[in-house]
Amino acid sequence: MTNITVSRIALVHLFSIFFGIGSWVTINGVWVQLPQLVLHLPEGWALSSYFSIIVQIANIGPLTYSLIDRFIKSKLTDVIAVTLTTGIGSISCLLLSFFWNTQSYLTGQYRSVWLFVLVFLMALVDCTSSVLFLPFMATFKDKYLTSYLVGEGLSGLLPSILALIQGVGSYPECRLVNTTNSTTNESKAFYPEPRFSTGSFFILLFAMDVMSLLSFLFLNYLPFLKTEKVFHLEENENKIVAPVQQPSNTTPKDENSTLIISGLLDKRVKYYLFILQGWLCALSNGVFTAIQTYSCLPYGNNAFLLAVTLSTIANPVACCVAYFLPIKKLSIINLFVAIGTLISCYLLATAVLSPKPPLVNTTIGDILIVSD
């Protein structure tokens, strides 16, 4: 293998990683910035609920693209779609760095309209990336898909590291301030400034998104990288056809035995696993994102910061562990789901009992809320 070939392969791996970073980096960045946003915006603790609803609505993006792909595919190529959506996400993130604190007076109170609109656009792009980016990576050799998935994992890790460096979870200080008539003083909470501002944080996310867009353009247009593409696809190069497997006449007699037998799953087990996956996704992506401020903030800003950032890191770490240590026994899967459900009950209890949840103002309470 020549030095030129090695360099070409290394570049494709590098660009694939940067391309994957752009898949969810902006929305993950918004979530880890939540401890800072709740201090300055009128929605306060309810901000996570608003974000959760906005992200769920943004799932119309993949549905819309699927309809476009079905009916007017010839007029919209994947290259145009990826460039357009990534560009929209980058511009939205840049605008957010300047207008995240801009408020509008609506229905009798101030609201963060600019923030919600821009977060919706970024969520629309990130949700749609799931059906856009993978088909493009499928045009390259299989080994580059792993690099893309590494980048997708970094889309949660990098914003979390930035948030920890920023230090958004500092404890407030009580200071005496003069009232309007300057004859009396009153105590107010002052939050120490982070190492860099929220606007700067979003500019850094914008830079990551731009790097992702440039990496995509390099992968698509650099001539010497085209040798790493797969050319024996169908005429419609974006349609990947999986080999059809013949059904097996044997099914596992013991559900606690190994799940995978000759690459096939028993139909009942498959549906059962889908139900479990739906249950866990509903908890992690729906319920707990909406109540996170209520369950974590009573324990302090440091606990809130760690809970938000570590939960963002947990997903890529869990995927990495599952890749190297796959679970093939239904009994173990049931055990993990049961443990996760019990933890969910505790988190729900802390949100319901907020602002005085169990073990508040104790070290063990902080440890439990962060580790859960």
| pLDDT tens digits for range 211-252 | 999 999 999 888 888 888 876 444 444 444 444 444 444 444
Which residues, 6 or more positions from 352, have their beta carbon under 8 angstroms from its beta carbon?
Answer: none
The predicted pLDDT at position 204 comes to 95
Token pair belonging to 36? 């800072």
Q: Is the pLDDT of residue 61 over 80?
A: yes
Q: Is residue 350 a contact partner of residue 369, using CB atoms and an 8 Å limit?
A: yes
Q: Is the pLDDT of residue 254 over 60?
A: no
Highest mean pLDDT out of 228-232, 302-306, 315-319, 346-350: 346-350
| Amino acid in position 175 | R
For every residue of 97-141, DSSP letters joined together read: HHHTT--EEETTEEE-HHHHHHHHHHHHHHHHHHHHHHHHHTTB-
| pLDDT tens digits for range 311-344 | 878 877 777 787 778 887 888 899 999 998 998 8
Percent of the chain residues past pLDDT 70, beyond the cut: 82
Distance CA 144, CA 149 (A): 9
Report which of residues 60 and 242 the model is more confident about: 60
Least confident of 6-10, 86-90, 361-365: 6-10
Check residue 326 and report its DSSP letter. Answer: -
Entry pTM: 0.76
Q: Where exactly are the structural domains of the chain?
A: 1-231, 265-371
| Amino acid in position 174 | C
CATH classification of 1-231, choosing from 1.20.1250.20, 3.30.70.870, 3.40.630.30, 3.40.50.9100?
Answer: 1.20.1250.20
Element of type H or E holding 80: helix 78-99
The predicted pLDDT at position 185 comes to 66
Strands (DSSP E) along the chain, which ranges? 104-106, 109-111, 173-178, 185-190
Mean pLDDT on 50-79: 83
Token pair belonging to 203? 């500019």
The predicted pLDDT at position 3 comes to 67
Q: Is residue 127 a contact partner of residue 279, using CB atoms and an 8 Å limit?
A: no
Token pair belonging to 298? 């009573």
Q: Which of 6, 80, 27, 31 is nearest to 290 (CA)?
A: 31
| pLDDT tens digits for range 123-144 | 999 999 988 898 888 888 888 8
Compute CA 160 distance to the chain's CA centroid, rounded to the nearest angstrom.
11
User: Residue 111, SS3?
Assistant: strand
Q: Is residue 141 a contact partner of residue 228, using CB atoms and an 8 Å limit?
A: yes
> 25-32 and 301-324 are packed helices; what angle lies between their axes, rounded to 10 degrees?
140
- Distance, first Cα to last Cα, the chain: 48
Q: Which of 317, 287, 222, 247 is nearest to 53 (CA)?
A: 287
The predicted pLDDT at position 121 comes to 95
The predicted pLDDT at position 351 comes to 87
Q: Is residue 136 a contact partner of residue 78, using CB atoms and an 8 Å limit?
A: yes
Q: Is the pLDDT of residue 301 over 80?
A: no
The predicted pLDDT at position 1 comes to 57
Mean pLDDT on 69-90: 82
What does the mean pLDDT of the chain come to? 81
User: Residue 59, SS3?
Assistant: coil
> 301-324 and 363-371 are packed helices; what angle lies between their axes, rounded to 10 degrees?
40
For every residue of 150-198, DSSP letters joined together read: HHHHHHHHHHHHHHHHHTTTPPPEEEEEE-TTSS-EEEEEEPPPPSS-H
The predicted pLDDT at position 125 comes to 94
Torsion angles phi and psi, residue 136, rounded to 5: -65, -45
